[in-house]
Amino acid sequence: MKLAALQMTSSAGVPANLRVARELVREAAQRGAVLVALPENFAFMGLGDADKLAVGEPQGQGPIQEALAAMARERRVWLAGGTMPIKGPEPNKVAAASLLYGPD
């Protein structure tokens, strides 16, 4: 099995970061990767907790998670989504979660 461990310089702009991630996943899949791992904070690099809270998503929904699912499905790879801010039961906190998506 071929693994691709991707690196990228993330910013506070989620859409721009997802565009870069999409291109890197495409390239990895074209080179034969079956498992692709994105880095920690690939989708968002904020300065503080309030920044992370602003882009945090409920588990199972949101633009970051939807983009990862689409990338895995479109490229037919297993995709490990680094860490991303996921909202939990406490309203003023997010957890750093790593999610894995399959090709289906």
Full-model pTM: 0.92
Q: What are the Cα distances from residue 20, in Å, to 15, 35, 45, 81, 83? A: 9, 18, 14, 13, 16
Q: What is the dihedral of CA 44, 46, 48, 51, to 10 degrees?
A: -70
Q: Give per-residue pLDDT as tens, 17-70.
A: 999 999 999 999 999 999 999 999 999 998 777 888 899 999 999 999 999 999
Average pLDDT over residues 75-104: 94
